Amino acid sequence: MVRLNVNPTRMELNKLKKRLTTASRGHKLLKDKQDELMRQFILLIRKNNALREKVEGQLVSSMRNFAVANADLPEQFLEESMLIPATKVKLTPAQKNVMSVTVPVYNFQYDSEIIKKPLNNGFVNSTKELDESFYKMAKNLPDLLQLVETEKTCQLMSKEIERTRRRVNALEYMTIPQLNETIAYIKMKLEETERSEITRLIKVKEMKD
């Protein structure tokens, strides 16, 4: 470890001791922050994985129904059934602070009635499988929108964890050891100077005697 290039004086020693105290305190705070971020991140990842598994399962089931309907119906009927959206989704973004990390909060507004009752396109230009596919898609909408928010929060928290980890490592393996080594070096130099001064005084006294 390369020590700092400073003059070995008591003034510099006091400055470095204050820097060491500040660095040690900052290291402890950042380490606590890192631990808490990791704890919340793990909980969020578990929630995200469960939500993703649920959403993907519902999407697979819906696409199975749509594949059967696509095989039974002419392409024109499928296009007509999807021309007009069943509902509109309005997004109102907001933010919240989680351990100094600004994460998004997505407020979605849509017609909740679409989830409670199935979509029927009629017996002529639709099939049961197509209606089931649309219904499962609509039922999956709240979970899908929540997954968007959760995954974005996971991304931002992982970046903050990485930044915090780098700062903790810099303090732990570079700054604090460097300060300790420089402080030890200055103490050694001051002790040598003090011993030299005592030896000089002794010789001066002997010469007087």
Q: Please tell me the distance from the alpha carbon of residue 43 to that of residue 172, in angstroms, as a whole number.
A: 27
* pTM summary value: 0.74
The dihedral of CA 135, 141, 143, 147: what is its sign? positive
**118 or 85, greater pLDDT:** 85
Tokens 């507004």 correspond to what residue?
Answer: 109
pLDDT surpasses 60 at 6? yes
Residue 87: pLDDT over 70: no
Task: State the distance between the two ends of the chain, measured CA to CA, in whole angstroms.
Answer: 48
Q: Looking at the predicted structure, is the pLDDT value of residue 162 above 80? A: yes
Nearest-angstrom CA–CA distance, 136 and 95: 30
* Confidence bin at 209 (pLDDT 50/70/90): low
Helix (H, G, I), strand (E, B) or coil at 82: coil
Section 108-114 average pLDDT: 70
Is the pLDDT at 89 greater than 60? The verdict is yes
pLDDT digits (tens, 9 = 90+) for 21-61: 999 999 999 999 999 999 999 999 999 999 999 999 999 99
Q: Is the Cβ–Cβ distance between 160 and 37 less than 8 Å? A: yes
Instruction: Please tell me whether residue 21 adopts helix, strand or coil conformation.
Output: helix
Tell me: pLDDT of 117 over 70: no
Mean of the per-residue pLDDT values for the chain?
A: 84
- CATH class, domain 10-198, is mainly alpha
> The tokens 């219904």 sit on which residue?
135
